[in-house]
Structure 1
Amino acid sequence: MSDRARSPHALAWFKSSYSGGNTTECVEVAVAGSATVLIRDSKHPVGEPIAVPPEAWADFIASLHGYPRL
Structure 2
Amino acid sequence: MDAPAPGGLGGTYAGNPLAVAAAHAVLDVIAEEQLCQRAEQLGSHLQEVLNQARATCPAIVDVRGRGVDGGGGV
Report the TM range for the smaller structure's normalisation: under 0.3
Structure 1 or 2, whichever has the larger Rg, is: 2
TM-score normalised by L of structure 2 = 0.24
Instruction: Name the structure where helix makes up a greater proportion of residues.
Output: 2
TM-score normalised by L of structure 1 = 0.25
